Amino acid sequence: MHALVIGAGVSGLSAALRLREAGHAVEIWTRDPPAETVSAVAAAIWYPYRADPPDRVLRWGAVSLRTFVRLADDPATGVVMRDGLEVFREPVPDPWWKAAVPGFRRAEASELPPGMADGFALRLPVVDMSVYLGWLRRRVEAEGVAITQRAIAGLGETRGAADVVVNCTGLAARRVADDPEVYGVRGQIQVVRAPGVTRFLIDDAGPTYVIPRVSDVVLGGTADERVDDATLDPTTAAALRRRCEALVPALEGAEVVADRVGIRPCRSAVRLEAETIDGVRVVHNYGHGGSGVTLSWGCAEEVVALV
């Protein structure tokens, strides 16, 4: 079949590659180049965040986790395996996603930062989006997939362009798919150079996280509900930096590389389903919240099954 993928963030590129590997002819239309999508701002550690329903998220996430573990063997991908902790100020039960993570264990008290009462010790893939998106784009183009920079106002504009359309438009699905359930959650991060920081740390309060990538460290973050303004806020940058330094004192004095803002495309549940619109077969794949990278390969495989 001839498949047209709309959107070239991590969801669109992953779906396009899996469709091509399944033998379909594939092209991509995108408003923004991959390096300018919200995917480029993601801290991108494997971690289910702001995505439902749990049973489908767990299944998609497990597929992606296995894929990223394999990709970490290739330095060109920008995927690295990191050890680290998720910490809590009060005792907590095991997480619902525990079954997907090999080697999951409860942290020892001696491992916890001051003031923390509980935690999980984890080894997870960190996906350096400054490297990975370029690698993924090259993989897609090497398979013969053309990427055309073209914005659309609605799915009706794709009529006659392909046998099937795969809608990976993220936040833009509000307009493109006329879906009022989609809303934005603003996230601000700071990227720093801190070679001595090699372990990740996640504190859901804030949220606060320190994610060491290939050659830099991502500090975060924010979760501003129903905010679509991507303007950088210096006050927010200073606040998240203080929170991160309190968790990881080794960050003090770290050189700032960049401050960035992204708007997570949230929804009550990830929309991954097929329908027919004006005679066109459409597979929707959006609403991943803060889990776009975490779910990308699992959702891409389900896209192929639906196609």
Strand partners, 253: none
Dihedral sign, CA of 233, 234, 235, 237? positive
- pLDDT of 205 > 90? The answer is no
Angstrom distance (rounded) from CA 47 to CA 56 = 14
Percentage of residues in the chain having pLDDT higher than 90: 97
User: CB atoms < 10 A from the CB of 56, how many?
Assistant: 17
Average pLDDT over every residue of 34-62: 95
CATH number of the domain to which 222 belongs: 3.40.50.720
Domain boundaries, position 19: 2-306
Count up the domains in the chain and report the number. 1
**Residue 114: pLDDT band by 50, 70, 90 thresholds?**
very high
Average pLDDT over every residue of 15-36: 97
Average pLDDT over every residue of 10-33: 97
Strand partners, 284: 167, 273
- pLDDT of 206 > 90? The answer is no
Average pLDDT over every residue of 202-229: 94
Q: What digits encode the pLDDT tens for the residues 169-182?
A: 999 999 999 999 99
